[in-house]
Amino acid sequence: GEDVEQSLFLSVREGDSSVINCTYTDSSSTYLYWYKQEPGAGLQLLTYIFSNMDMKQDQRLTVLLNKKDKHLSLRIADTQTGDSAIYFCAEGGMDSSYKLIFGSGTRLLVRP
Amino acid sequence: GAVVSQHPSWVICKSGTSVKIECRSLDFQATTMFWYRQFPKQSLMLMATSNEGSKATYEQGVEKDKFLINHASLTLSTLTVTSAHPEDSSFYICSAQTSLAGIPSEQYFGPGTRLTVT
């Protein structure tokens, strides 16, 4: 079945780069997403990548996709305290349901 | 644009009562809405998918008679937790999706509703 896994916790110092990793199992996924969730709030889409791409950069965010290893990463450059949140990766396909399968989330703590 | 609201944001109810949660797309028409449940420090688990005017499709293990979903219009879906019990306490999040020329948009998420059953 489909499964998306992430490490649970990451702590970095303000100004450093953060790298959050994710592995997935469904090779038919068309899109891979990164969402941010702040405490008590819903999910905010940060970025996404098509499965036929290797990399996507969007300001401070860089997404790398290794399709062979089914590995996805999100790099946040110059991490700020406002980046502290839970980050979820998710995979989605183009079947009739367009469902998203979420990872367990990585809690990012940015230390001043 | 693409704002999704939920109401209420927080609700406490007594065991055995029913609670209705609303999900609205404020500035677009949502052909599909999704309901998720999130336990503390855990991921989002998809409960059901609903399309306007048709019955919701529930994920395996989700009791459709307990979690009633009504997608009565293109801007409103409701989730009713019937005969709520303490184990139903959770954070419920909806998302809404539109489509253009048959191509679905991303899912736009609501802010969530925290349900506490005492």
**Torsions phi, psi of B76, nearest 5?**
-140, 130
Distance between CA atoms of residues B35 and B20, nearest Å: 13
- Which residues of chain A lie closer than 8 angstroms to B100, CB-CB? none
- Which residues of chain A lie closer than 8 angstroms to B43, CB-CB? 88, 102-105
Q: Does residue B95 contact residue B108 with C-beta atoms inside 8 Å?
A: yes
Confidence category of residue A13, pLDDT binned at 50, 70, 90? very high
Report CA-CA distances (Å) from A95 to A26, A29, A41, A66, B98.
13, 9, 28, 22, 15
Peptide bond just before B8 cis, omega within 30 deg? yes
Of the candidate ranges A8-17, A26-35, B11-20, B109-118, the one whose mean pLDDT is the lowest:
A26-35
Task: Name the minimum distance, in Å, from the CA of B80 to any CA of chain A.
Answer: 19
The pLDDT, as a whole number, for residue B15 is 97
Distance between CA atoms of residues A112 and A97, nearest Å: 43
When comparing pLDDT for B109 and A39, which is higher?
B109
**Torsions phi, psi of A104, nearest 5?**
-80, -10
- Which residues of chain A lie closer than 8 angstroms to B97, CB-CB? 98
Residues of chain B short of pLDDT 70, as ranges, are 1
Residue with tokens 């998203």: A100
Q: Choose the most confident range, by mean pLDDT, from A2-6, A26-30, B80-84.
A: B80-84
Q: Does A109 touch chain B (CB under 8 A)?
A: no
Distance between CA atoms of residues B113 and A88, nearest Å: 19
In the stretch 32-51 of chain B, residues with CB closer than 8 A to chain A read: 32, 34, 41-44, 46, 49
- Which residues of chain B lie closer than 8 angstroms to A102, CB-CB? 43-44
CB atoms within 10 A of CB B109: 24
3-class DSSP assignment, residue B25: strand
Q: What is the chain B residue with the closest CA to A44?
A: B109
Q: Do B107 and A105 touch (CB under 8 A)?
A: no
Distance between CA atoms of residues A6 and A108, nearest Å: 12
The pLDDT, as a whole number, for residue B88 is 96
pLDDT, one tens digit per residue, over A63-104 is 999 989 999 999 999 999 999 999 999 988 655 556 788 998
> SS3 letters for chain A?
CCCEEECCEEEEECCCCEEEEEEECCCCCCEEEEEEECCCCCEEEEEEEECCCCEEEECCEEEEEECCCCEEEEEECCCCHHHCEEEEEEEECCCCCCCEEECCCEEEEEEC
- Which residues of chain A lie closer than 8 angstroms to B112, CB-CB? 40-42
Which one of A41, A103, A107 has the shortest CB-CB distance to B111? Answer: A41
Q: What is the chain B residue with the closest CA to A95?
A: B104
* Eight-state DSSP code of residue B86: G
3-class DSSP assignment, residue B52: coil
Which one of A42, A45, A103 has the shortest CB-CB distance to B111? Answer: A42
Q: Are strands A85-92 and A31-37 parallel, antiparallel or unpaired?
A: antiparallel
* Token pair belonging to A112: 């001043």
